[in-house]
Amino acid sequence: MRLSQYFLPTLKEVPTEAQITSHRLMLRAGMIQQIASGIYTWLPLGLRVLQNVADIIRQEFNQTGALEIIAPTIQPTDIWRESGRDNAYGEETLRMQDRHKRDYLYAPTAEEMVTLIARDYLKSYRDLPKTFYQIHWKFRDEIRPRFGVMRGREFLMKDGYSIDLSEDDAKQSYLKVMHSYIKIFRKMGLTAVPVKADTGPIGGDLSHEFHIVAQTGESGLYYDKRLTDLMQAPHDQVDVDAIMNIYAASDDLHNPDTYHGDTSLLEYARGIEVGHIFYLGTKYTEVLKATITDASGNQIAPHMGCYGIGVSRLVGAIIEACHDDKGIVWPVNVAPYKVGIININNDNTDTQQICGHIYQMLTQQNISVLYDDRDLRGGAKFADMDLIGLPWQIRVGQKGVAKGIVEVVNRKSGDMQELSADQAISFLNTALN
Amino acid sequence: MRLSQYFLPTLKEVPTEAQITSHRLMLRAGMIQQIASGIYTWLPLGLRVLQNVADIIRQEFNQTGALEIIAPTIQPTDIWRESGRDNAYGEETLRMQDRHKRDYLYAPTAEEMVTLIARDYLKSYRDLPKTFYQIHWKFRDEIRPRFGVMRGREFLMKDGYSIDLSEDDAKQSYLKVMHSYIKIFRKMGLTAVPVKADTGPIGGDLSHEFHIVAQTGESGLYYDKRLTDLMQAPHDQVDVDAIMNIYAASDDLHNPDTYHGDTSLLEYARGIEVGHIFYLGTKYTEVLKATITDASGNQIAPHMGCYGIGVSRLVGAIIEACHDDKGIVWPVNVAPYKVGIININNDNTDTQQICGHIYQMLTQQNISVLYDDRDLRGGAKFADMDLIGLPWQIRVGQKGVAKGIVEVVNRKSGDMQELSADQAISFLNTALN
């Protein structure tokens, strides 16, 4: 994408309404536009990140055998009355009536919808296990929306729901999701800490929150260092059982007396909650009468689990975890573009030609590139490129081009290499493919 | 995907509540589940088609330089009051209040949101032209929702909005979108007919509807046969000017006296409206005060266009255009899976081995495959596979395997070839890649 034809309304000033780093940086980088309190339009750059985050979740969740669906945002209140959850979210539920005066609500989660799938279509133990999920918009009418997309009212969530024959099977599904969450957050370049949690209005008796470590996190986390070592381990064989048994607690639930490990391993960090998983038991299948026939011919209520990830919240949380004083530092897999090309001397035909060549070659290699071909001075382009945080920058100026070199800069480390244009193309192709 | 692990709740019976073919077939094929009148959950098979349709639109629209955004579904009524459209959709607008008693609505279109982008961020003629679009959920509270997803209340729409300096530029953007629509519908394997149309509550003075030809279509269309010849032409150079000037009218606007072509070329067909585009002029930019500075330094209101495609409606419309008495016949590019493998003798180790081999090889070649490995008799599998309409079927039975052959069947033509397993893999790789 050529920046002269793109839409990147960056701001030099720090917006006064934004209290936290990610909110400030998302506004300054032109990622979101506020429409009302807690309600945003996702502008082109922001939407690309949101889609990348969603795609990572979708790919990993599909690999577990989970099946994607889309449930309606507007749901009849009757089914929430039937499940007993009509008032579970209190005033956070956005309610409305249609033209026939029937009651509806904007769904904050989809347990009822998935239980209806089970009730209508899953008849036999042979139909299980099944996990359904959606990546879809939700609305919760927070009394004081704040922190940008970190605590918005309309937000994008991945919500998954497993349906199993027994409690044992359901806990296997729960572990499978834990496994996939560990892979998801690792793929996003984040350190995630799972901690035991309360179940709240969702119900059930087993629950974990996933926090990602960020200095600006809202929660305090105590955990045994072996946990994050395991979570960050580069191999694919994730030992979920081991992870489940290592000490981790949010500060409100932390009790030093229950920690039996080596105290020198007990760490403290700030974290941002980005995922929450629950074993639900038969709460929904019983009350909504979604029974199936087991192998002995008996009608039983299957066991469910539900699994959330705050997709739009993650965009903010990633920025909280990954930024410096110049702006955002995107992990490669979620970056809106992998490479930014800066033409420092925009009216120079040599730099134009080199930039055009690099842009064309990288694009042909399926590497996403944002090429800053605007008529601006180099300093403004450097500042914008640092602000929007693409992992790699290629700086092309007429002095370098005269010597046959361009500068390849790693946004995170700041390391700079002088390479020929073709070396730069080859280097980035190796680094990114 | 192995069907034994998938979710495909097909129905033998014809659902009585469904009045039209596409609704009946979508229910019978397990694509959607009705939650309330005009409100559906998209089940896994249906969602795959919906995503394919959306992806074709996204790819083609991105190629025009249009920039994707996501505007909120819940919008403050104030901005609709400011644009004068608060009551434009009458009782079809779903309204609600938040916990602070502020008025909101579930947006049926997004002219206001895009005009706010222009107002906040586009300052100079150098920032134009720009086209923004989203593929997002909408709600219109139809008094009598019917025909399944063809006239639902909650539906997925692609809505695009161009912003240009002048009327001439805006009409260029309009033509560019027409061009991309022609490519989009052709890529979906459909015959589309653009006809001049009224502008309704959107406003403006130039408008075209896009209808796809289907015997069960709701509208009658009169058009010069040269139009559909041009629209179906296999070359990429689409002559939009020629298309604009060839006679086409819906039956309510058809006037034989204004047709000056060869009467033997005047055709009549039934059509389903799947797209609608409008030149809006300065209606929104004036009233919302989204002015920009032109090259002479004057503040002017830019000219807009808006461009809709009914994404979820298209899924139904494609089925209306593409089915036979056995079920759906998906055009290749929107099919939920390209190939279905049927193991006719599921307990036979030879057919299992051949099916597994074909499944693995095609999947490795990035061809999406649904492998029917269920413990059902062959006849039930044939009926389900015909019903869900995958473009290619591979039927593997123990008699054929003993002779070293499998049957490759084209769902549309019914043509059957006897090939070895490896010939079948190679044939489909050539046909589909």
Strand partners, A134: A159
Residues in Cβ contact with B152 at an 8 Å cutoff, skipping those fewer than 6 apart: B38, B39, B40, B142, B145, B312, B313
Asked if residue A70 has pLDDT above 70, the reply is yes
A82 touches chain B (CB under 8 A): no
Distance from CA of B135 to the nearest CA of A (A): 12
What tokens were used for A358?
């690099």
Residue B187: Cβ-neighbour burial (10 angstroms; 0-12, 13-18, 19+): middle
Residue B268: pLDDT band with limits 50, 70, 90: very high
Q: Are B69 and A141 a contacting pair at CB < 8 A?
A: no
Residue in A7, A111, A156 to test binding to B, most B beta-carbons within 10 Å: A7
d(CA B326, CA B335): 16
pLDDT at B428: 98
d(CA A162, CA A128): 9
Strand A67-68, strand A130-139: pairing: parallel
Q: Are A35 and B153 a contacting pair at CB < 8 A?
A: no
Is the torsion defined by CA of B215, B218, B222, B223 positive or negative?
Answer: negative
What tokens were used for A22?
């990610």
d(CA A204, CA A198): 9
Indicate the average pLDDT of chain A.
94
Between B243 and B329, residue with greater pLDDT: B329
pLDDT at B235: 62
Amino acid at B132: F
d(CA A235, CA A231): 10
Residues in Cβ contact with A396 at an 8 Å cutoff, skipping those fewer than 6 apart: A341, A342, A343, A344, A351, A354, A355, A358, A406, A407, A421
Asked if residue B283 has pLDDT above 70, the reply is yes
d(CA A212, CA A272): 5
A4-29 pLDDT, tens per residue? 999 999 998 888 889 899 999 999 99
Residue in B47, B67, B83, B113 to test binding to A, most A beta-carbons within 10 Å: B67
Residues in Cβ contact with B186 at an 8 Å cutoff, skipping those fewer than 6 apart: B192, B231, B232
pLDDT at B345: 97
Residues in Cβ contact with A331 at an 8 Å cutoff, skipping those fewer than 6 apart: A188, A189, A190, A318, A322, A391
Strand partners, A194: A210
Instruction: Say if CB A134 and CB A71 are below 8 A apart.
Output: yes
Contacts of A33 in chain B (CB under 8 A): 116-117, 120-121
A15 touches chain B (CB under 8 A): no
What tokens were used for B78?
């104030």
Region of A63 please: left (phi>0), alpha (psi -120 to 50) or beta: alpha
Phi, psi of B326 (to 5 degrees): -95, -15
Q: Are A73 and B137 a contacting pair at CB < 8 A?
A: yes
Residue B411, SS3 per DSSP: coil
**Residue of chain B whose alpha carbon sits nearest to that of A102:** B36
Contacts of B92 in chain A (CB under 8 A): 99
ipTM computed for the complex: 0.96
A104-146 pLDDT, tens per residue? 999 999 999 999 999 999 999 999 999 999 999 999 999 999 8
Contacts of A164 in chain B (CB under 8 A): none
pLDDT at B165: 97
Q: Which DSSP state fits B301?
A: P
Q: Are B42 and A76 a contacting pair at CB < 8 A?
A: no
A371-400 pLDDT, tens per residue? 999 999 999 999 999 999 999 999 999 999
d(CA A248, CA A254): 8
Residues in Cβ contact with A94 at an 8 Å cutoff, skipping those fewer than 6 apart: A105, A106, A139, A140, A141, B74, B96, B98, B104
pLDDT at A231: 80
d(CA B390, CA B340): 6
Phi, psi of B73 (to 5 degrees): -75, -35
Residue B399 has a CB neighbour count (10 Å cut-off) of 10
Contacts of A44 in chain B (CB under 8 A): 67-69, 132
| Nearest by Cα to A389 from A311, A314, A315 | A315
Contacts of A79 in chain B (CB under 8 A): 35
- The residue whose two tokens read 């701001």 is A11
Q: Which of A257-266, A306-315, B289-298 has the lowest mean pLDDT?
A: A257-266
Which of A5, A7, A41 has its CB closest to that of B113? A41
d(CA B110, CA A160): 30
Amino acid at A345: N
pLDDT at B433: 86
Strand partners, A106: A74, A94
Distance from CA of A236 to the nearest CA of B (A): 21
B121 touches chain A (CB under 8 A): yes
Report which listed range, B144-153, B225-234, B282-291, is most confident: B282-291
Contacts of B73 in chain A (CB under 8 A): 73, 137, 139, 154
Which of B36, B40, B99 has its CB closest to that of A143? B99
pLDDT at B204: 61
d(CA B174, CA B198): 16
Q: Are A130 and B7 a contacting pair at CB < 8 A?
A: yes
> Which domains are present in chain B?
3-327 (3.30.930.10), 337-432 (3.40.50.800)
Q: Are B44 and A94 a contacting pair at CB < 8 A?
A: no
Could you give the C-alpha distances from B246 to B51, B208, B223, B231, in angstroms and in order?
A: 33, 13, 8, 11
| Nearest by Cα to A337 from A45, A57, A4, A53 | A45
A290 touches chain B (CB under 8 A): no
B11 touches chain A (CB under 8 A): no
What tokens were used for A118?
């089970």
B91-121 pLDDT, tens per residue? 999 999 999 999 999 999 999 999 999 999 9
Q: Which of B5-19, B93-107, B373-387 has the lowest mean pLDDT?
A: B5-19
Residue in B35, B92, B128 to test binding to A, most A beta-carbons within 10 Å: B35
Region of A304 please: left (phi>0), alpha (psi -120 to 50) or beta: beta
Residue B419, SS3 per DSSP: strand
Region of B90 please: left (phi>0), alpha (psi -120 to 50) or beta: left
Asked if residue A101 has pLDDT above 80, the reply is yes
Residue A309 has a CB neighbour count (10 Å cut-off) of 26
Which of A9, A30, A154 has its CB closest to that of B74? A154
CA dihedral A209, A212, A218, A222 (to 10 degrees): 70
pLDDT at B311: 98
Instruction: Say if CB B161 and CB B307 are below 8 A apart.
Output: yes
What tokens were used for A242?
């081991």
Distance from CA of B70 to the nearest CA of A (A): 5
Instruction: Taking residues B368-397, report their average pLDDT.
Output: 98
pLDDT at A308: 98
Asked if residue A212 has pLDDT above 80, the reply is yes
Distance from CA of B198 to the nearest CA of A (A): 26
**Residue of chain A whose alpha carbon sits nearest to that of B116:** A35
Contacts of A41 in chain B (CB under 8 A): 69-72, 113, 116-117
- The residue whose two tokens read 């790789």 is B429
Residue in B6, B74, B157 to test binding to A, most A beta-carbons within 10 Å: B74
Is the torsion defined by CA of A18, A23, A27, A28 positive or negative?
Answer: positive
Asked if residue B236 has pLDDT above 80, the reply is no
Which residues, numbered 17 to 76 in chain A, qualify as contacts with chain B under a Cβ-Cβ cut-off of 8 Å?
A: 30, 33, 35-36, 39-44, 47, 50, 65, 67-76
pLDDT at B242: 82
Asked if residue B202 has pLDDT above 70, the reply is no
**Residue of chain A whose alpha carbon sits nearest to that of B11:** A121
Instruction: Taking residues A179-183, report their average pLDDT.
Output: 93
Buried b (16+ CB within 10 A) or exposed e, A179-211: bbbbbbbbbbbbbbbbbebeeeebbbebbbbbb
pLDDT at A239: 77
Which of A92, A99, A120 has its CB closest to that of B33? A120
pLDDT at B279: 94
Residues in Cβ contact with B125 at an 8 Å cutoff, skipping those fewer than 6 apart: B165, B292, B293, B294, B295
pLDDT at B232: 76
Residue in B52, B96, B103 to test binding to A, most A beta-carbons within 10 Å: B96
pLDDT at A216: 85
Q: Which of B41-50, B204-213, B237-246 has the lowest mean pLDDT?
A: B237-246
Percentage of residues of chain A with pLDDT beyond 90? 85
**Residue of chain A whose alpha carbon sits nearest to that of B114:** A41
Residues in Cβ contact with A100 at an 8 Å cutoff, skipping those fewer than 6 apart: none
Instruction: Say if CB B302 and CB B122 are below 8 A apart.
Output: yes
Contacts of B95 in chain A (CB under 8 A): 96
Instruction: Taking residues B387-394, report their average pLDDT.
Output: 98
